[in-house]
Structure 1
Amino acid sequence: MFQQSTAGLVRGAALAGSLALFPFTAACGAGNDTDDKGAPGPVTVTAAPEAGVVAPAKVEVIAGLTGCTAKIRIEADELRQGVCHTEKSDYLITTFPEERHKQAWLEAASVYGGQYLVGSRWVVGARPEALSRFRSRLGGTARQLSATGPTAAPKGA
């Protein structure tokens, strides 16, 4: 119960801070987003330079940025997951409608361990060499989850 109230306070403080800074960011950035005719110009995304999209993205968008067409294997209220098979690697792309669903998924995945590229409401699970290629396209943070589940009994026991 203590964790929920602490998490609520943190979210509330983050929201209040964001709202307090909003007028400044809106006022400062207005001059650079239009062309000479007043039409909106392209938006720059710094977290994923090659992506050029605002997170959270769909499974299909992330798959396209990584060079595959995902086959959707889970379509649920809490998440969508697609599988990608390419010549270089096989990997999973999972997106979430809310950040809390992503956190719950990561906690459950920690039983299995592995490396993941984690972004805003999305996770890509792949071999480390693939994740390093994807990071420049998608942004995100590389995370190593350590296996915490039961281990197999030793041979001969």
Structure 2
Amino acid sequence: MWCAQTSERVWRGRVLAALVTAAVLAVAGCGAGPGAPEAGGHGHGGQPRPDDAANTMPSEPMTVEALATAVGCQTSSPQHGSDFRQANCSGTGEKLVLLDFDTAKGQREWVDMSKAYGGVYLVGNRWTVSGNSRDYMLALQARLGGAIEQDTHGS
């Protein structure tokens, strides 16, 4: 009986050690799953990639009006959804839609659903800019922060 209890304790200790190690590596960003950054933590040569969400997410949410000012466009009156406000943005030469969200969960659901329709999304802290040009969104990202997302299955 002593032997069975000892081996069970050893086994539990090893499992616990493996779980702790996995958690530490995950928090440290050492996982190498699909789409993981290359060595150096950011991509080529250790330089931050423009669409690296961890390095570009602003700490404060932005309203549709603040986004319009930052983008330099005129907006229509915001339309209200269940968890968001949305306005078209004109005057930039690009067709953009600006959104602000009440909750991060509502934003994630909206972005995930919308990606099925195509387009490029600049996703920040409870705000999103939707457009069609990845290059234009990369330029906006340099000013606003956020992460670039788009559906890669059908395009």
Residue among 113, 117, 128 paired with 2:134: 128
Computing the radius of gyration from Cα coordinates, the structure with the larger value is 2
Encode CA deviations 1:86-135: one digit per residue, 9 max, x unaligned.
Answer: 24212001110100000110121122022111111111111212211211
Residue among 78, 83, 108 paired with 1:78: 83
Residue among 142, 145, 155 paired with 1:139: 145
Residue among 47, 70, 76 paired with 1:65: 70
Query: What is the TM-score with the length of structure 1 in the denominator?
Result: 0.56
Q: Once superposed, which parts of structure 1, at least 4 consecutive aligned residues long, lie more than 6 Å away?
A: none
Unmatched runs of 5 consecutive residues or more in structure 2: 1-54
Give the 3-state SS of the residue equivalent to 1:72 in structure 2. coil
**Alignment coverage as a number of residue pairs:** 99
Displacement of 1:70 in angstroms is 1.3
Q: Distance in 1 between matches of 2:111 and 2:91?
A: 24
Identical counterparts, % of pairs: 26
Unmatched runs of 5 consecutive residues or more in structure 1: 1-45, 149-157
- Greater share of helix residues, 1 or 2? 2
Q: Distance in 2 between matches of 1:87 and 1:110?
A: 22
Query: In structure 2, what residue type is equivalent to 1:128?
Result: R
Q: Distance in 1 between matches of 2:81 and 2:120?
A: 23
Encode CA deviations 1:16-74: one digit per residue, 9 max, x unaligned.
Answer: xxxxxxxxxxxxxxxxxxxxxxxxxxxxxx847xxxx8521100101110011211342
> In the alignment, is residue 101 of structure 1 matched against residue 109 of structure 2?
no
> In the alignment, is residue 89 of structure 1 matched against residue 94 of structure 2?
yes
Q: Distance in 2 between matches of 1:129 and 1:71?
A: 24
- Does structure 2 retain, via aligned residues, the 8 Å contact 1:72–1:80? no
Q: Is 127-136 or 115-124 further displaced after alignment?
A: 127-136
Please give the root-mean-square deviation of Cα atoms over the aligned residues, in Å.
2.2
- Does structure 1 retain, via aligned residues, the 8 Å contact 2:71–2:140? yes
Q: Distance in 1 between matches of 2:79 and 2:153?
A: 23
Give the 3-state SS of the residue equivalent to 1:93 in structure 2. strand
Give the 3-state SS of the residue equivalent to 2:135 in structure 1. helix
- Does structure 2 retain, via aligned residues, the 8 Å contact 1:115–1:128? yes
